[in-house]
Chains A and B, each alone.
Chain A
Amino acid sequence: MASLVIHDLHVSIGDRPIIKNLSLTVNSGEVHAIMGPNGTGKSTLAKVIAGHPDYTVTGGDVLLDGRSVLEQEADERARAGLFLAFQYPSEIPGVSIANFLRAAVQARLPEGEEIDATAYYKRLYAKMDLLKIERKFTSRAVNEGFSGGEKKRCEILQMAMLEPKMAVMDETDSGLDIDALRIVSDGVNALRGPGLGVLMITHYQRLLNHIVPDFVHVMYDGRIVKSGDKSLALDLESRGYDWVKQELAALPA
């Protein structure tokens, strides 16, 4: 069983602290949602876990299966089983999805071992069928000219192919209309299972109607201030974030 442990994490951009003493554990088979107002450090958390070079970890640790990932480059973390579904996936002109995924699968093979092209395409097509994606999709350049929904489906397809142990999904619902949201949620639900842990970052409760979380955490001012089950998300939906802020203010310093 895999685990992602975030322990007393402190993160800065330049001199500005963004994440302050955040701790969280995600085990495989679990789906955790992190909710919170804008500017509270949710996306920073996602990028730090994935290894984005712009952020400095000033304290604490992030461990995958008990091993710290902080010294690893983004590509090493990904090969170790981490996956980040981007809020704003990059467009890569001239590189087809099929070739991109092939390079990602190749990167997971031992040095000198060549990918088995037939087996690769067989597996790719099986995943596309699972996610109800048309065959011609993968001959398009990665995210180039894609609608919001297509970009997110492309992320889910990558996740399906790379079979991570832990997936961090950053605002997967942003920019999606209700139909696209359903399609993407169906994709995530199809991949859910005992071998996958999910940390879902979202601003809105509506995603959680489609992907029902086991745990819900409220993030505010760089830390987790409240945790609960899926009913917490419904409370937030009806009462807003101000309620949490007021509760926090009432606490003794």
Chain B
Amino acid sequence: MTTTTAPLPPGTVGAFTRAAFEAHLASLPPLPEWWLARKRAAFEHFAALPLPVRNDEAWRFSNVSGLTLDGFAPPATARAVPFASIGIRKAARLIFANGRLFSREILDSNLERRGVVVDTIQNALREHGDLVRDHLLAQPARLGSDKFSALHQAFLVDGAFVYAPRGVEVELPIGIFSFALGDQAATFPHTLVVADEGARVTVIDYFGSQDDTERQLAIGANDLYAGHGARITYVGKQDWSHQALALQSNSTVVRRDACVQSLNVHLGARQARHESHSQLQAPGAISEMLSLTVARGDQEFDQRTLQIHQAPHTRSDLLYKNALLQRARTIFSGLIVVDPDAQKTDAYQSNRNLMLSDEAEANSLPGLEIQANDVRCTHGATTSRIDSEQEFYLQARGITKRAADELLTFGFFEEVLNRLSQDDLHTALRTLIQSKFSGEKVIR
């Protein structure tokens, strides 16, 4: 266990002081020694690191001045969550409010009999300690958010743990809902998914706030681990308050002949950073990384990705699409890394931006770092405007300009939505994305 009394640099920890950290630890049930040690180390790391500054390469084009930690309170006790019914049929449902469990429902009674675990990280630390130890935040933050990842680990209260044992296919999706409640609230949601050999599981991770005017800090993470021949489908829906600062990091590890498909839909927050990091560790591993963003008002969406091919015959396929309205900004920075012995790698990276406004700004930084000589890699970025003849065609059918732009945006997104094989997921996602145009709150 580390203890130090060195003074913290002023202004870089906000409310997340040493005293707040100790109070946070005191509020938790007894933790395994290894986890407590990791949390303490994470706090020291967080406190020692500076906030990103303008000339950090990993934060190029980002509004670094928006990354303040001042004025947020460490997680408070949960209040009642703001909805009555939620979305499509699910096998199980976990609801968190400000990082604490609000409810846990196992809706498919076969789950437990088949050994599927849908539980909190707090319970999993006790009951599935080895799995949690091996996979919870086990990969380093490599895309620039070290300070925030460390803060997440230090102040992580609870989160979702999903485990599908060997050979088990979970047909219905598992829904995880994380809400931020209250002005100045800080929340650290976490979702850990482990699919054992040959298992299949779909997880829907929803992030939302009760009130779009509340200023909030949300620093979330997810770990997806697909064992030999496993398949994970992960759908993230980010719909935080429009005054939130949100940072989310993903770590995906794909083993032999396994496949992870992830789609992140970005709608909420004032400023949202998303880092996604896929490691293809063994032959036959596939990672499909998809993203849809509707950026409007003064929102900034900052997306950084890493596709690391560590073994031969692996495949990664990234397709990120952004629709930009009004004065919104997006940043996409992606890197494909192919290790020297990862021959026969198939890697794709594509970022497409649809501009619905002259004032919006899309930045794109695609990149390759290839050390093997027998690979197929393509990357590219395009930015296009709404086609005025298409817009006129729709208007000539009586469709308003706003509805025409919405329809054209959905047309633009369709290529990504079509990659998901489950129809009811499409419908729910369309409804959610539509809410961004209509302004009606939808929780799915």
> Taking beta carbons and an 8 Å cutoff, which residues of A are in contact with B?
50-53, 73-75, 78-79, 83-84, 86, 89-95, 99-101, 103-104, 106-108, 141, 158, 162
Given A75-B401, A103-B403, A103-B407, check contact A92 B396 (CB 8 Å).
Answer: no
Q: How far is the CB of A143 from the nearest CB of chain B, in Å?
A: 9
CB of B400 within 8 Å of the partner chain = yes
Dominant secondary structure of chain A at its interface with chain B: mixed
Given A50-B396, A78-B396, A84-B396, check contact A94 B401 (CB 8 Å).
Answer: no
Q: How far is the CB of B355 from the nearest CB of chain A, in Å?
A: 17
CB of B374 within 8 Å of the partner chain = no
CA distance in complex: A148, B407 (Å): 24
Find chain A residues with CB under 8 A from B113 CB: none
CB of B435 within 8 Å of the partner chain = no
Given A86-B393, A94-B415, A103-B403, check contact A75 B398 (CB 8 Å).
Answer: yes
Q: Is A92 a contact of B414 with CB atoms below 8 Å?
A: no
What's the interface size class on B, roughly?
A: 20 to 34
Given A94-B413, A100-B407, check contact A73 B401 (CB 8 Å).
Answer: yes
9 A-B pairs with least C-beta separation: A94-B414, A94-B411, A78-B398, A90-B393, A74-B395, A95-B411, A104-B397, A75-B395, A79-B398
0 or 1 for each of B187-208: is its CB under 8 Å from A? (1 = yes): 0000000000000000000000
Q: How far is the CB of B201 from the nearest CB of chain A, in Å?
A: 29
0 or 1 for each of B367-390: is its CB under 8 Å from A? (1 = yes): 000000000000000000001111
CB of B392 within 8 Å of the partner chain = yes
Q: Contacting B395 at CB < 8 Å: which of A78, A86, A99?
A: A78
Find chain B residues with CB under 8 A from A75 CB: 395-401, 404
Find chain B residues with CB under 8 A from A50 CB: 396
CA distance in complex: A129, B19 (Å): 74
Q: Is B412 a contact of A94 with CB atoms below 8 Å?
A: yes
Q: Is B390 a contact of A162 with CB atoms below 8 Å?
A: no
Jot down 12 A-B pairs with beta carbons below 8 A, ordered by A.
A73-B395, A74-B392, A78-B398, A86-B393, A90-B390, A90-B393, A92-B390, A95-B407, A99-B407, A100-B394, A107-B403, A141-B414
Q: How far is the CB of A163 from the nearest CB of chain B, in Å?
A: 11
Q: How far is the CB of B411 from the nearest CB of chain A, in Å?
A: 3
